[in-house]
Amino acid sequence: MADYLIYHNPNCGTSRNALALLRERSIEPQIVEYLKTPPDEATLLALAQRMGQPLWHLLREKEPLCAELGLAPGACSEAELARTMVRHPVLINRPIVSGPLGVRLCRPFELAQEILPPA
């Protein structure tokens, strides 16, 4: 199993750039196309916890469905938000990179450098 994992959307330029950055550093991550295979609720909550952020930090607020569902910080519990994000993975912001040195939402993609070993 790879030391690094990326929740990836191949149609997203930022996600492609984050993957390219990992590969430039000779890291071949496990790639999870989260729109096809979304993480479960526990995984989403664990990712946010490892980031030291609330789950709301991983919500793709610009997604129109977010407004349609009335999702805003405080509108529901993190457990409810996790269930909603699993049902509608388009609500998960990307790319998320996880590795031995931590987890980052890599927007911009250069934030991945914070959890990569020194070059």
61 within 8 A of 68, measured Cβ to Cβ: no
Task: Look at residue 72 in the predicted model and tell me its pLDDT.
Answer: 86
Give yes or no for residue 1 having a pLDDT over 80. Answer: no
Active site residue 106: no
19 within 8 A of 112, measured Cβ to Cβ: no
119 part of a folded domain: no
55 part of a folded domain: yes
Q: State mean pLDDT over 85-100.
A: 97
118 part of a folded domain: no
- How does pLDDT run across 18-42, given as a tens digit for each residue? 999 999 999 999 999 999 999 999 9
Task: Look at residue 73 in the predicted model and tell me its pLDDT.
Answer: 83
Task: Look at residue 3 in the predicted model and tell me its pLDDT.
Answer: 94
* Of 12, 66, 76, 106, catalytic: 12
Quote the percentage of the chain above a pLDDT of 70. 99
116 part of a folded domain: no
75 part of a folded domain: yes
CA 34 to chain centre: 9
Q: Is the dihedral of CA 42, 48, 52, 53 positive or negative?
A: negative
Looking up residue 79, the CATH number of its domain turns out to be 3.40.30.10
64 part of a folded domain: yes
117 part of a folded domain: no
pTM reported for the whole predicted model: 0.94
Tell me the three state secondary structure of residue 30: strand
Query: How far apart, in whole angstroms, are the C-alpha atoms of residue 24 and residue 45?
Result: 29
65 part of a folded domain: yes
Structural domain span for residue 80: 5-111
